[in-house]
Amino acid sequence: MQILENSWVLMLSPAIFIFFVFKHRLAFRFVLLTAAFFLFGNLTASSLRAFDDIYIYRYLVWALTDIIWMALIAYWGIKDKVYLWQCVIGQLVVIGAPILQLFRLVDRHSWDLAYSTVIYQTLMPFINIATVVVCYLPLIILFTKQGSVRSKRENSSP
């Protein structure tokens, strides 16, 4: 689990490199912003946990970080800086994260249910994995486009 938490940026590194090399700007922006937010979260997590001994601020900061990511991606989607379809899928995947963060906060301080621990520890890695998958989705388009161009060339040669 610890390896996964610290390697989200490393998992996105091949996508950053490929999109940069192929000058795939829309996908590059999406994956770069996502990697920056993963990196920010990774760099601030330990100090936030050390500061927040009452388990309030960490969930608020993490929920706010997810909402800011969603807002930036939505803005870039509207301005055609990232793919709109990738923006929408990213929003649908990540919307669960701030809801889950706030649910965890309320549960720890008001309800004291044991369910939130299991739900939180199960769903947050899945949300992060799904976010990484969304970052890689333009590769399918990139490779299918190259495959269709290659097959057209082969079919048109005498």
Instruction: Identify whether 157 is part of a domain.
Output: no
Instruction: Identify whether 93 is part of a domain.
Output: yes
Instruction: Identify whether 85 is part of a domain.
Output: yes
Is the pLDDT reported for residue 120 higher than 80? yes
| pLDDT, tens only, 43-99 | 888 888 888 777 788 889 999 999 999 999 999 999 999 999 999 999 999 999 999
Domain that holds residue 12: 2-149
8 pLDDT tier (thresholds 50, 70, 90):
confident
Distant-in-sequence, close-in-space partners of 66: CB < 8 Å, separation ≥ 6: 94, 97, 98, 101
Instruction: Identify whether 155 is part of a domain.
Output: no
Instruction: Identify whether 82 is part of a domain.
Output: yes
Instruction: Identify whether 8 is part of a domain.
Output: yes
Instruction: Identify whether 61 is part of a domain.
Output: yes
**Total tally of structural domains belonging to the chain:** 1
pLDDT of 156: 58
Looking at residue 95, the DSSP 8-state letter turns out to be: T
pTM of the model: 0.84
Residue type, 4: L
pLDDT of 87: 96
Instruction: Identify whether 156 is part of a domain.
Output: no
